[in-house]
Structure 1
Amino acid sequence: MIETMQCAGADFCEELSGAGDTSFARFYEGDPPSRLIYSTENLTLLADMSPLVLGHLLLLPSNHYMSFAQVLSLHEAEVSGFLAEIVPLYREAFGEPLILEHGSSAGQESHACITHAHLHFLPIDGDAVDDHLIADALAYRDLGSLGELALSPWPSSAYFLRVYRERVRVYRPTGKQKRQYLRSVAGAVLAIEDPEWDYAVVMRKGELRRTMRMVDYWPGKLSGNVTTVDAELSCGE
């Protein structure tokens, strides 16, 4: 059984709860005042604070889960509906989205540095990412749909998720991958020099600001049953 975990003090949670003193606020100093784009009852879309490229977005649950496999176990319809609305807008603004995730569970190595489940959206070539993952000798399984990620063993396993052009693939970590592994792979595809793909090394503030300007019309294009960036979000309640 997947349980909602208390989020206080965990990654992203202070920001989602509306706290003023956050890493984002300190780094960006009010420009922009927020990176929140759009949310539903259980999901939040925001710009990556340290983007690899223009259009680097994150989708995360408002409550605390270790992976999107766990989120899908409880909120599959909401995730599917969210993606059905967001992906066409993303494609129009930035190009075909590649979706990546470092999935993890309690007590397992995730190769990520953030424990709150989140999907990365990037306008890069997913086939090229596959080439890198396969070259690293990672075994994989193709799924019939993203909803299958909610099935065993994924909610209790570490995994690397890749979704591209509606093709869903899950790679198995070997334990040899470094932290921020998928960021490093995406960085290689983007020809970003090592270690400049590391979120703590280069922040690319201009790309976040441009991204926020390019998505400012999205809430008006989406369904009315949403909360926009001005709403108070909950985390772990």
Structure 2
Amino acid sequence: MSDCIFCKIAAKEIPSSAVYEDENMLCFKDINPAAPVHLLLIPKVHFDSLAHAEAGHETLLGKMMLKVPQIAREAGLSNGFKTLINTGKGGGQEVFHLHIHIMGTPA
């Protein structure tokens, strides 16, 4: 999507403070953190929200969920972390590109 800020970040058109990247996903620091550590993990492929996920996204979503604990550990969240996926306007979603918030306080 040409007007999606997260697509532009994934395409390196907008800079970010990346902490992890592979061919499928990108994780970067939230610019308006709600916790001492607040990261956003996005798929590089665009879909608006979890409600728009399809069977073809199953492997990608599984890889993302398995990557969350590793990213959290590397960010110093060894005592635990919170994940959040806002879905739709009613769910508090502000950027309509699926993203997983990873939040916590380092040990």
* Pairwise TM-score range, normalised by the shorter structure: 0.7 to 0.9
Compare CA radii of gyration and give the structure with the larger one. Answer: 1
Matching of residues 70-149 of structure 1 within 5 Å: 70-71=52-53, 73-91=55-73, 93-94=76-77, 95-104=79-88, 109-123=90-104
Structure 2 unaligned blocks of 5 or more: none
Q: 8 Å contact 2:40–2:100 — kept in the other structure?
A: yes
Q: Deviations over 1:87-142 (max 9, x none)?
A: 045146123121111112xxx64532211111111127xxxxxxxxxxxxxxxxxx
Q: Deviations over 1:14-44 (max 9, x none)?
A: 222111xx4xx5xxxxxxxx41222333322
Percent sequence identity over aligned pairs: 23
Q: Does 1:15 align with 2:9?
A: yes
1:109, 1:82 → 2: CA distance? Answer: 24
Q: 8 Å contact 1:65–1:117 — kept in the other structure?
A: yes
Of 11, 26, 31 in structure 2, the residue corresponding to residue 49 of structure 1 is 31
Shift of 1:48: 0.9
Q: 8 Å contact 2:68–2:102 — kept in the other structure?
A: no
2:59, 2:36 → 1: CA distance? Answer: 29
The number of residue pairs the alignment matches comes to: 104
1:43, 1:72 → 2: CA distance? Answer: 17
2:96, 2:48 → 1: CA distance? Answer: 6
Structure 1 unaligned blocks of 5 or more: 1-6, 26-33, 125-210, 212-237
Shift of 1:69: 4.3
1:66, 1:96 → 2: CA distance? Answer: 28
Considering only aligned residues, what root-mean-square deviation do their CA atoms show, in Å?
A: 2.7
Q: 8 Å contact 1:59–1:118 — kept in the other structure?
A: yes
Gap change, CA 1:116 and 1:82, over 3 Å in 2:
closer
Q: 8 Å contact 2:27–2:40 — kept in the other structure?
A: yes
